Structure 1
Amino acid sequence: MSDQEQGVAVQARRIPFPSSISPEARASLERLVGEDGVPLNALYTMPLPDDHAGWMAVKAAADGHYAAAVERLAGTLRSSVETIHAGDATIHVATPEAISKPDCAYLDFHGGALVVGGGAACRAQARMQADQHGARCYGVDYRMPPEHPYPAALDDAMAAYRHVLERHAPSRILVGGRSAGGNLAVAMLLRAKDEGLPLPAGLILLSPEVDLTESGDSFQVNQMVDVVLPGSLMRNNQLYAGGADLSHPYLSPLFGDLTGFPPTFLQSGTRDLFLSNAVRMHRALRQARVDAELHVFEAMPHGGFMGNTPEDLDLAQEVSRFARTQWGDV
């Protein structure tokens, strides 16, 4: 038996949604699964890395989905937003209606499997962060493949960070990223450290995609259990890398030198395909003597329960508490 074949044999079975979560969270999970028990998202297959037309179709469909989601947010967001440019980077700067922390900044990187999630969705997310934290949020609308593979997104991240550093003291800056955005947030700090730039006051990583090699345990254990992200994103990762080594720390920052990193908040869920990313990142930070806290939510899939469930609200409160602490506003 080869090493690839060794492991635990699991019998075919249907895994129920637990009673240990809120009714709202359970309903969220149920909406994402068909009657046959297969996650609805498992029906979609990503194109091969060299299928440019296929990827453009994926992006167009995602843009339509995000546009509908943003429209549903209309009237709930209070902050204003303007779009600026720093080099090749596009940045959506959201300012709270009543800004309580005028000297603070939140530099935000959106998710979207390294391929989608920009444009209107990025603008809306910047406004949501500004509303949540009462501080100016800089949402980085980084360039993405297939038109712009690595290192375009990381170059944009660096340009945005330099822009923010020119306007805010490092001790008043927080950097945050969700999923793919977590990859860019950590990779950017690794590169900033390599280039001698000061690091921010804190780092917030929500189910971060910090290992593009997908070597963690949960990529197998939570496959088809995570109803939001039921399977591998390797095709996305290869498209993003554009032939570069996926294990390089600027692509898989889990493998970088994390010494000197700021206090870090990490989140995942027991059903998150990326759970191993958060767990391993937390251990790597602790081994580098970085103050890091890990929050794992019961039965939560990738990205949360997608709504105002008690669990989602609990997570938001924890993030706000961490941000206040790092800004010195306890």
Structure 2
Amino acid sequence: MPIVHHRKPSLLSFPMWLGTRVLLRPTLSLWPLNKAGMAGLFLIDRAFAAGPKPSGVVRERMTLDGRPVELIMPSGPSRRDSETAILYLHGGAFVVCGLGSHRSMASRLSKETGLPVFSLEYRQLPQFGVGTSVADAVGAYRELVGERGYRRVIVAGDSAGGFLAGKVVEAAAQEGLPRPVAFVGISPMLDLDVGTNPDRSSRSDAYIPQNKVRELTPLLDRGPVPLQGTRRIRELADDAFPPTVVITAEGELLEPDAIALVETLDDADVDAVAHSYSWQVHAFPVLTARHPETLHAIEVTAAFIAQAIREAKDADDRKDQRAG
């Protein structure tokens, strides 16, 4: 089955869900989406960046296509695959968060997979719309598979970063670049117009109010780079789409689009699976470091990535043999 339901929540899940419902959801509902309100959100990333640094990894600042990137690699003896990497695209509704807020998530993914993770700081609102964010993500991918020499790249993202990861898949096909080895979505936003979709509801979502997403939607088309191509990642779901793993919170606003993507890919004979966790909150693996569901979600994601890499290597070996 392409949809795996996890319906035995840990005891920590209930206070986390209720806390975010009571405290975070009202705050987000009232937060102004004017220039001052959005600009002030950068302090959230600053606060995370000042917190404890993840252990078991080494970090290096660099750039990809001119944008700041944090390269995270497991520490200790290296047995890494030098031709494979992960491009991680953080979430935050294209408004908030960055390298600091998602450092823990990128570090856990690096440690669990044994791969280098390139966490990208792409441009966001209020100055830059989604088209600019997409251009930064595609530019970073283009450099990784081009001058950086990575033969296999996994694209991963949570929430808004999931949309950017999907747009990387689209751009790779359009530009004739190597297809990503896998697509990883953590509560991915797969439809830019989900806030105005009458078939979607945030009634069961712990903290995302659909009315605020609806208010955000017109701002997403802000320039200077225009958004081109699809606004719904499901429209890309055919047999050319890479193997896909999605993690969602059961009942969250964005889950129906993630389920639809996986089911469509499964119908197209693409290896795709969604793990839906009950009593969790949107993008819970990013928010909770030691939560049992977080640890499990990272584990199943890493296992899926490992399988996708093995299959990609086998395909590369067959191609090399034919060329030789």
For Structure 1 versus Structure 2, the TM-score category normalised by the shorter chain is 0.7 to 0.9
> Which residue of the partner structure matches residue 210 of structure 2?
231
* TM-score scaled by length of structure 1: 0.80
State how far apart, in whole Å, the 2-side matches of 1:229 and 1:117 are: 16
State how far apart, in whole Å, the 1-side matches of 2:167 and 2:57 are: 29
Displacement of 1:52 after TM fit? 2.2
Contact 1:91–1:160 at 8 Å: present in 2 too? Answer: no
Residue 85 of structure 1, aligned match among 63, 69, 84: 63
| Amino acid in structure 2 at the alignment position of 1:199 | R
> Which residue of the partner structure matches residue 260 of structure 1?
240
Structure 1: gaps (5+ residues): 1-18
With over 3 angstroms needed to count, the CA separation of the structure-2 counterparts of 1:153 and 1:258, relative to structure 1, is: farther
State how far apart, in whole Å, the 1-side matches of 2:207 and 2:46 are: 19
* TM-score scaled by length of structure 2: 0.81
Residue 47 of structure 1, aligned match among 16, 32, 37: 32
Contact 1:91–1:138 at 8 Å: present in 2 too? Answer: yes
Displacement of 1:140 after TM fit? 1.2
> Which residue of the partner structure matches residue 316 of structure 1?
298
State how far apart, in whole Å, the 2-side matches of 1:24 and 1:123 are: 23
Moved more, 259-268 or 247-256: 247-256
Displacement of 1:182 after TM fit? 0.4
For residues 96-111 of structure 1, what are the structure 2 equivalents within 5 Å?
Answer: 96-98=74-76, 99-103=78-82, 104-111=84-91
Residue 22 of structure 1, aligned match among 4, 7, 10: 10
Moved more, 306-315 or 289-298: 306-315
Moved more, 91-100 or 132-141: 91-100
State how far apart, in whole Å, the 2-side matches of 1:230 and 1:256 are: 27
Identity of aligned residues (%): 24
With over 3 angstroms needed to count, the CA separation of the structure-2 counterparts of 1:43 and 1:117, relative to structure 1, is: closer
Moved more, 136-145 or 286-295: 286-295
With over 3 angstroms needed to count, the CA separation of the structure-2 counterparts of 1:52 and 1:40, relative to structure 1, is: closer
Contact 1:154–1:187 at 8 Å: present in 2 too? Answer: yes
State how far apart, in whole Å, the 2-side matches of 1:70 and 1:132 are: 22
Q: Deviations over 1:18-53 (max 9, x none)?
A: x9421111121232243xxxx5322333435xx323
With over 3 angstroms needed to count, the CA separation of the structure-2 counterparts of 1:148 and 1:243, relative to structure 1, is: closer
| Amino acid in structure 2 at the alignment position of 1:107 | L
With over 3 angstroms needed to count, the CA separation of the structure-2 counterparts of 1:289 and 1:249, relative to structure 1, is: farther
Higher helix share: 2
Residue 201 of structure 1, aligned match among 181, 184, 192: 181
Displacement of 1:168 after TM fit? 4.3
> Which residue of the partner structure matches residue 308 of structure 2?
326
With over 3 angstroms needed to count, the CA separation of the structure-2 counterparts of 1:295 and 1:199, relative to structure 1, is: same
Contact 2:93–2:159 at 8 Å: present in 1 too? Answer: yes
Displacement of 1:120 after TM fit? 2.4
| Amino acid in structure 2 at the alignment position of 1:322 | F
State how far apart, in whole Å, the 2-side matches of 1:212 and 1:309 are: 29
Say yes or no: does 1:113 pair with 2:113.
no
State how far apart, in whole Å, the 2-side matches of 1:117 and 1:218 are: 28
> Which residue of the partner structure matches residue 11 of structure 1?
none
Contact 1:81–1:127 at 8 Å: present in 2 too? Answer: no
State how far apart, in whole Å, the 2-side matches of 1:113 and 1:23 are: 29
Task: Tell me how many residue pairs correspond in the alignment.
Answer: 297
> Which residue of the partner structure matches residue 67 of structure 1?
46
With over 3 angstroms needed to count, the CA separation of the structure-2 counterparts of 1:316 and 1:249, relative to structure 1, is: same
> Which residue of the partner structure matches residue 145 of structure 2?
165
Residue 275 of structure 1, aligned match among 235, 238, 255: 255
For residues 166-185 of structure 1, what are the structure 2 equivalents within 5 Å?
Answer: 166=146, 167-170=148-151, 172-185=152-165
Q: Deviations over 1:191-245 (max 9, x none)?
A: 111111110211111111011111667731x42x32232334123332222289x
Structure 2 residue matching 1:267: 3-state secondary structure: strand
Contact 1:218–1:275 at 8 Å: present in 2 too? Answer: no
Q: Deviations over 1:47-71 (max 9, x none)?
A: 35xx3233213x2xxx333333444
Contact 1:182–1:210 at 8 Å: present in 2 too? Answer: yes
Q: Deviations over 1:103-155 (max 9, x none)?
A: 22011110111111124224554334322321111111111122121321111
Q: Deviations over 1:248-302 (max 9, x none)?
A: 7443322335440111101212131111121111123234332211111122221
Q: CA RMSD in A?
A: 2.8
